[in-house]
Amino acid sequence: MSGQSRGSTTTSTSTSTAGAINPFEVALKQLDEAAKLINLDAGLHQVLAHPKRVLTVSIPVRMDNGEVKVFTGFRSQHNDARGPYKGGIRYHPQVTVDEVKALSMWMTWKCAIADIPYGGGKGGIICNPKEMSDGELERMTRRYAYGIADIIGPMTDIPAPDVYTGGKEMAWIMDTYSALKGNYVQPEVITGKPLAIGGSLGRNEATGRGLSFTVREAAKRLKVNMKSATVAVQGFGNAGQFASQLVEEQGAKVIAASDSKGGVYNKAGISVSALRKHKEKTGSVTGFAGAKSISNEELLEIECTILIPAALENQITGRNAGKIKAKIVAEAANGPTTPEADDILYKNGILTIPDILANGGGVTVSYFEWLQNLRREYWTEDEVNQRLDRNITKAFSDVYETHEKYRVNMRKASTLLAVNRVVEAIKIRGLWP
């Protein structure tokens, strides 16, 4: 098996599943809207509509029962005009090439909004990690790392964790890459690593912390008092848990939370730390003492001040957007709101803090981790959090100003701001050759 090719480079287009919302089409539509608003040159629009490279790799893995199973993995590199590609790797049965392409484009915008010197990338493997042993996961991860090793690197493309991947997988990728490329330790090839091998303090909480800063800023603009605000969180995973904890620390009351198994609701408030302990022990938020069971659909529609979608794409759609009662929707997840739903929320006076702004804390602290690795130095948690606050607060204010200036919703404002920044870099660098 070891002589197998490292995969083919393609730039194939849409492979939308019949009936499902194709995330890449959503991303293209958002780009079209921004292009129209800023009168973008048609050629540059085309450049941005195509990822620079999409690599598909097949990943043969010896499973624990002795059989060989071949998984499919992707790495999409959207644009590197402002710096190396940056973006997570997700393990999920529903990963598609179009999802990865869309996510890589959103990473380009996200890094531009956060004003960090990166472009956008994203990776994924079609698999169900919940049904795999640690040994199988390690063999799959290392073989995927081998498959993409020639297109990633500390100065070219720096992956990170995403859905159902974390420090463990990042460590295997760093180790495999380091062994393949000179056999010396190269922590700066990947971020989201455990502390013992060059991870950054504050990285685990970064997405949730960044989101809590954007919520704080939005509340100031809308004159919402955080002390009387209520919060519902769909997806009580890494991003959702820290986001809940940190908005709770600002005085808000979390009244509902959910995960893939279902949701819980208590109008009087749910202690985030108690719910985390319950989830740690039982594997789910469901069955939490004193709370009522609700479905994920019901959670989105409950009466609350702040709604935090922190699970998967396409949760707020044309079908349920009209029923959302929150004042602020802060998107921890990537792509949770469809364009049709966006327009409905905007019309109903709901302020959406879009994913590319709201969850930019993760990539910002990833950038801090990379800087620390390159310099072989380490910052205190306070230093990380203060720098993060400065970056995110500035990003929020840049987007909010654009939103007011162009009279468009916050997502259009974010994309517009990002496209302008990326286009400026492309123009200055020029088209090669």
Contacting residues toward ligand NAD, per CB under 6 A? 162-164, 207, 234-240, 258-260, 296, 310-312, 332-334, 359, 362
Determine the Cα–Cα distance for residues 132 and 140; give it in Å rounded to an integer: 10
Question: Smallest gap, in angstroms, from Cβ of residue 90 to ligand NAD?
Answer: 7
CB-CB contact of 144 with 6 (8 Å):
no
- Quote the CA–CA distance of 231 and 208 in Å, as a whole number: 14
Q: Please, which residue, 207 or 338, has the CB nearer to ligand NAD?
A: 207
Alpha helices in 133-166 (DSSP H): 134-148
Separation of alpha carbons 65 and 359, rounded Å: 39
Which one, 238 or 372, has the nearer CB to ligand NAD? Answer: 238
Measured from the CB atom, the residue of 206 and 423 that comes closer to ligand NAD is 206
CA distances from residue 238 to 132, 206, 280, 299, 332 in whole angstroms, order as listed: 20, 10, 12, 19, 10
Q: Please name which of 310, 359, 365 lies closest in space to residue 191, comparing C-alpha atoms.
A: 365
Q: Which stretches does DSSP call E strand in 23-99? A: 53-62, 68-79, 85-92
Q: Using CB atoms within 10 A of its CB, is residue 60 exposed (0-12), middle (13-18) or buried (19+)? A: middle
In 3D, which of 110, 5, 111 has the Cα closest to residue 55?
5
The helix/strand count (H/E) of the chain reads as 14, 13
Instruction: Report the nearest approach of ligand NAD to the CB of residue 104 (Å).
Output: 12
CB of 223 to ligand NAD, least distance (A): 28
By CB neighbour count within 10 A (0-12 exposed, 13-18 middle, 19+ buried), where does 429 fall?
Answer: exposed
Distance from CA of residue 358 to its chain's centroid? 10
Candidates 122, 193, 279, 412; catalytic one: 122
Catalytic site residue 122? yes
Smallest separation (angstroms) from ligand NAD to the CB of 258: 5
**CA–CA distance, 1 with 318 (Å, rounded to integer):** 47
Minimum distance from residue 380 beta carbon to ligand NAD (Å): 20
CB of 161 to ligand NAD, least distance (A): 6
Tokens 């820290």 found at: 242
Distance separating alpha carbons of residues 333 and 354, to the nearest angstrom:
9
Nearer to ligand NAD, 79 or 337 (CB): 337
Q: How far is the CB of 429 from ligand NAD (least distance, A)?
A: 27
Q: Choose between 308 and 423: whose C-beta lies nearer to ligand NAD.
A: 308
The DSSP output letter for 316 is B
Q: CB 189 → ligand NAD: shortest distance, Å?
A: 18
Position closest to ligand NAD via CB: 237
Beta strands in 185-252 (DSSP E): 230-234
Residue with tokens 């090793």: 149
Name which of 91 and 146 has its Cβ closer to ligand NAD: 91
Beta carbon nearer to ligand NAD, 224 or 410: 410
Q: Which of 389, 325, 333 is nearest to 361 (CA)?
A: 389
Measured distance CA(274)–CA(288) in Å, rounded: 9
Chain mean position to CA 64: 31
With tokens 């910052």, the residue in question is: 379
Catalytic residue list:
122
